[in-house]
Amino acid sequence: PPTISRHDYQPFPYALPEVALQLELDAARTRVTTRMSFERAAGELVPLVLNGQDLSLESVAIDGVPLGPDAYELHDEMLVLHPQARRFTVEIVSTCCPEANSTLMGLYVSGRHLFTQCEAEGFRRITWFPDRPDVMARYRVTLQADTAHYPLLLSNGNLLSQRDLGDGRHEAVWEDPHPKPSYLFAVVAGDFACREERITTRSGREVLLQVYSDHGAENRTEWAMDCLIRAIRWDEARYDLELDLDRFMIVAARDFNMGAMENKGLNVFNSAYVLADPATATDATYRAIEAVIGHEYFHNWTGNRVTCRDWFQLSLKEGLTVFRDQEFSADMLAHGLQGAAAASARAVKRIDDVSALRIAQFPEDAGPMAHPIRPESYQEIANFYTATIYEKGAEVIRMQQTLLGREGFREGLDEYFRRHDGQAVTCDDFIAAMESAYIRRNPGRDLQVFRHWYSQAGTPRVTVRMQHDPQAQTCTISLSQSNPPAGIELLQNPPATKPPLHIPVAIGLLSPTGAVVLPQGAQPHPLGAPGTLLLELTEAEQSWTFHGVAERPVLSLLRDFSAPVIIDYARPDTELALLARHDSDPFARWEAGQELARGLVLGRVQAQLNTAADLLCDTWAALAQDTALSPAYLARVLTLPAQRELIELTTPMEPQAVVQVHRALTQELGGRLQDHWVRLYGAMADDPATPYSPDPDSAGRRALRALALTYLLAGGHPQAAQWAMQHYEAATNMSERMGALNALATWGPEEVRTAAYQHFYDMWQDDPLVIDRWFSVQAASPFTGVGEVQALMLHPAFSLRNPNRARSVIFQFCMNNPGNAHSAAGYAFWADQVLALDALNPEIAARLARAFDNWARYTPALREPAREALQRIVQHPTLSRNVAEIVNKSLS
């Protein structure tokens, strides 16, 4: 497949101010009439190139004159016209087949409804069009459909009119006042229940908010509406950004490739991120819905009002919007809290986000798909909706806030909107706006070095050295950075040389008893925990000397995870234990405990040292009794680093050994700290008379109780299985129920496990989202091997066509069951499923194709079967462009 390069960008040679679309909607064949008024930008004649995919062309006319087939060129995915006038109107009639469209891109059928998904390049599956984000037009959309089947006809913007067409069909006309790129276009047709509210925005405009769902699910959309209102209020308060529409709609779809889509005024959501009630949703689901609703709503400004010039700029909207949703979620967790309690609540969110970054993005940056947050090239843009674009992109934005301070960052963002509202722009435009605020605050300095974050792949390593001079009472900290080539940079000849990055490293100094040490004259960073100092590393190596430091300090490093880097600092475990107990920065405190556990696991796996876990046990025992820690925070502190995170840290990668050691250590902690788990299990019990609430405190208590139960089962407490079954049966909400089911799936005796699975299925068989959980928990269980997962796929409720179902079984097994997936049979299963999915839905297949990206670093016994499985995929005669790009990179 051809490679598209960032440097080849050319502006589209025509302006397209107005588009009128008419869709005669029908699941079998939808007829689309598209009228586009073009205006040529430059003087000379230039062909008009339109994109299209899987369309049948009925007619083309320019200024009302039909074109014969020799007046245009019709290629596989391109229609080329040769207009002569400077201003002209093109009218195209074409058809597409929604019910035959299993890709879930363009116009497709889900349940009894019709939905569209246009990002990134799905609009071209609806009609011939300049399907690129820098072509921004005003849309008027006429929808016609069978009234009984599709009583609701929705599109972007405002509803202008509705009428009965008299033949059992009806029509709705919508107009979006805001110019937009085609990827933000949306249509939904079907029969839905609707929850609605009217609110008044900050400037006093009344707006209508609607959440549409399948009939019967309307009692599960209250939380989504509540989240939407909180997101609107948060954006008004934090960034002065107001909803710019009279009507904002969210529609839940059962079949959806991703989490949700920010179409202007008509967001389409995977139903998993809309529907929640206490009986069917866990605490984590409630928080995920809040994050995704926030994310899509925040796109209304960061993505929709100011959009991307081309798809290389994807992180411009995604990184920034993830950062905004992370801040929103953190503020919701900290709501009503002050001081250290608020900091600890925010740290819980930071811990979860950094853990996700380490599990998904660090491995990506260390593998064949490594790319900068602004990629240089791609074959299939759908493959670049990655953890790097989203999560590392958000870290790059967060570093800008750290460097500018909250107010400076706000000034920069205001400047960005002042300069670019209504435009399609680049990451350079964003950083230039931020730089204007940075320079105002830091005369003589700029963000020139910082810009390299946009062009370099790979996770930088920062090595730390510290020298203390007791006589002079000075402490000198030296930081050096290394940014080795990553991904395709490794294939370049000569190898890429990478300039240093601008890395904000937040640190703190602790006395040997754990007290905050503030060196003489040092200015603490306003965003940080007590005693936080910000070191701005901009060169390969730099040193800072601090005065008035009488005793050798213990360094607290990378506070609040101030940069997406790996820290190398050799130090005794006793320092980590001290930090885990006393660091004033709650993120760094958690990190110290994780580092202690990581060292223990990796020592046992790699050096086959049976290092004693005494220090970890003592530290955890102390923390388990620290009543100042919130249950949510303590649940994170007492959780071992994830198996996936640890596997990536082994060289060569040893998935089986990590799983074994991880399980053995969990058993050991379960046994040695048994008294603490018993106490916490009792103390964290819900009061059955109190109605369920997903608030952070209640959710934290449930998380800690479920963790204690897991350790009790792992540690072999004689009553644990009985408690787990009681916990499962007595649960008054899905969070408690899943807490017990997960513990049983990971550690429970076979008969108890199987009985719980059966009970769960009998109870929830008619609820697809809950049955997704039922499949997931089994697919990720260490007791589920290839044979068992194949049996799950034979279950009548399984379907490869529904992405949520495919994710809950196949993805869960391949990505979250390392002890079983990493085997010759596991890889063969994976290859079969990639090929089967590719025939239906290439975007989903390509995501699965990435499950074993880093196979070349596996232990030799696994490398060969992984390579064979990849070869089998690559040799398949009808591979999609999506999967081909992934597997070719993986094998190169």
The residues assigned a catalytic role are 296
Output the smallest distance, CB 141 to ligand HT7, in A: 20
Output the smallest distance, CB 378 to Zn ion, in A: 18
What distances in angstroms separate CA 172 from CA 34, 146, 164, 188, one per listed residue? 16, 12, 9, 12
Output the smallest distance, CB 115 to ligand HT7, in A: 11
Residues 848 and 810 sit within 8 Å (Cβ to Cβ): yes
- Give the residue among 670, 737, 661 at the shortest CA–CA distance from 710: 670
- In residues, how long is the chain? 892
Please count the CA atoms within 13 angstroms of the CA of 781 that sit on its side-chain side.
27
Which residues have C-beta within 8 Å of that of residue 341, sequence separation ≥ 6? 334, 630
Output the smallest distance, CB 582 to Zn ion, in A: 39
Nearer Cβ to Zn ion (308/507): 308
Output the smallest distance, CB 459 to ligand HT7, in A: 22
Burial class of 214 by CB neighbour count within 10 A (0 to 12, 13 to 18, 19+): buried
Interatomic CA distance for residues 696 and 632, integer angstroms: 7
Output the smallest distance, CB 396 to ligand HT7, in A: 16
Nearer Cβ to ligand HT7 (299/727): 299
Could you say which of 119, 415, 595, 772 contacts ligand HT7 (CB under 6 A)? 119
**Residue 283 in the binding site for ligand HT7 (CB under 6 A):** no
Interatomic CA distance for residues 141 and 107, integer angstroms: 15
Output the smallest distance, CB 314 to ligand HT7, in A: 9
**Residue 257 in the binding site for ligand HT7 (CB under 6 A):** yes
Output the 3-class SS for 691-728.
Answer: CCCCCHHHHHHHHHHHHHHHHHHHCCCCCHHHHHHHHH
Could you say which of 275, 382, 503, 613 contacts ligand HT7 (CB under 6 A)? 382
**Residue 262 in the binding site for ligand HT7 (CB under 6 A):** yes
Task: Report strand pairing: 260-261 vs 266-270.
Answer: antiparallel
Please count the CA atoms within 13 angstroms of the CA of 721 that sit on its side-chain side.
13
Could you say which of 141, 252, 261, 399 contacts ligand HT7 (CB under 6 A)? 261
Q: What is the DSSP string of 511-576?
A: -TTS-EE--TT----TTSSTT-EEEEE-SSEEEEEEE---SPPEEE-SGGG-SS-EEE----HHHH
Burial class of 497 by CB neighbour count within 10 A (0 to 12, 13 to 18, 19+): exposed
**Residue 295 in the binding site for ligand HT7 (CB under 6 A):** yes
Q: Which residue is nearest to ligand HT7 (CB)?
A: 258
Q: What are the backbone angles phi and psi of residue 405, rounded to the nearest 5°?
A: 80, 160
Could you say which of 32, 120, 615, 744 contacts ligand HT7 (CB under 6 A)? 120
Residue whose entry in the numeric block shows the structure tokens 């002890």: 819
**Residue 392 in the binding site for ligand HT7 (CB under 6 A):** no
Helix, strand or coil for residue 378?
Answer: strand
Residues 205-244, mask of contacts with ligand HT7 (x by CB under 6 A): ----------------------------------------
Output the smallest distance, CB 252 to ligand HT7, in A: 14
Chain residues in the site for Zn ion (CB under 5 A):
318, 321
Q: Which stretch binds ligand HT7 (CB under 6 A): 53-61, 113-121, 659-667, 744-752?
A: 113-121
Could you say which of 176, 235, 296, 585 contacts ligand HT7 (CB under 6 A)? 296
Could you say which of 258, 462, 657, 669 contacts ligand HT7 (CB under 6 A)? 258
Output the smallest distance, CB 850 to ligand HT7, in A: 14
Output the smallest distance, CB 885 to ligand HT7, in A: 14
The partner in contact with residue 258, picked from ligand HT7, Zn ion, none with C-beta cut-offs of 5 to 8 angstroms by kind, is ligand HT7
Nearer Cβ to Zn ion (330/721): 330
Nearer Cβ to Zn ion (98/294): 294
Task: Report strand pairing: 30-40 vs 541-547.
Answer: unpaired
Structure tokens that stand for 377 in this block? 């090239």
Q: Which stretch binds ligand HT7 (CB under 6 A): 191-199, 293-301, 341-349, 531-539?
A: 293-301
- Give the CA-trace dihedral at 808, 839, 386, 809, to 10 degrees: 10
Residue whose entry in the numeric block shows the structure tokens 């790319």: 371
**Residue 364 in the binding site for ligand HT7 (CB under 6 A):** no
Q: What are the backbone angles phi and psi of residue 701, rounded to the nearest 5°?
A: -65, -45
The partner in contact with residue 182, picked from ligand HT7, Zn ion, none with C-beta cut-offs of 5 to 8 angstroms by kind, is none
Nearer Cβ to Zn ion (298/760): 298
Interatomic CA distance for residues 48 and 50, integer angstroms: 7
The partner in contact with residue 327, picked from ligand HT7, Zn ion, none with C-beta cut-offs of 5 to 8 angstroms by kind, is none
Could you say which of 131, 283, 318, 654 contacts ligand HT7 (CB under 6 A)? 318
423-452 residues in contact with ligand HT7 (CB under 6 A) are: none
Nearer Cβ to ligand HT7 (131/736): 131
Nearer Cβ to Zn ion (287/889): 287
Output the smallest distance, CB 318 to ligand HT7, in A: 5
Residues 584 and 531 sit within 8 Å (Cβ to Cβ): yes
According to DSSP H, which parts of 566-654 are helical?
A: 573-582, 586-606, 614-624, 631-637, 643-648
**Residue 325 in the binding site for ligand HT7 (CB under 6 A):** no
Q: Which stretch binds ligand HT7 (CB under 6 A): 68-76, 252-260, 543-551, 693-701?
A: 252-260
CB neighbours of residue 399 within 10 Å: 20
Query: How many helices (H) and strands (E) would you count in the chain?
Result: 28, 32
Interatomic CA distance for residues 703 and 740, integer angstroms: 11
Nearer Cβ to ligand HT7 (256/677): 256
Report how many residues bind ligand HT7 under the rule CB under 6 A: 15
Nearer Cβ to ligand HT7 (225/382): 382
Residues 567-606, mask of contacts with ligand HT7 (x by CB under 6 A): ----------------------------------------
Nearer Cβ to ligand HT7 (116/483): 116
Nearer Cβ to ligand HT7 (692/811): 811
Residues 498 and 483 sit within 8 Å (Cβ to Cβ): yes
Residues 833-862, mask of contacts with ligand HT7 (x by CB under 6 A): ----------x-------------------
| Angle (deg, nearest 10), helices 283-299 and 314-334 | 130
Could you say which of 30, 53, 116, 117 contacts ligand HT7 (CB under 6 A)? 117
Interatomic CA distance for residues 631 and 683, integer angstroms: 10
Interatomic CA distance for residues 204 and 798, integer angstroms: 49
- Which residues of this protein are in contact with ligand HT7, per CB under 6 A? 117, 119-120, 257-258, 260-262, 295-296, 299, 318, 382, 385, 843
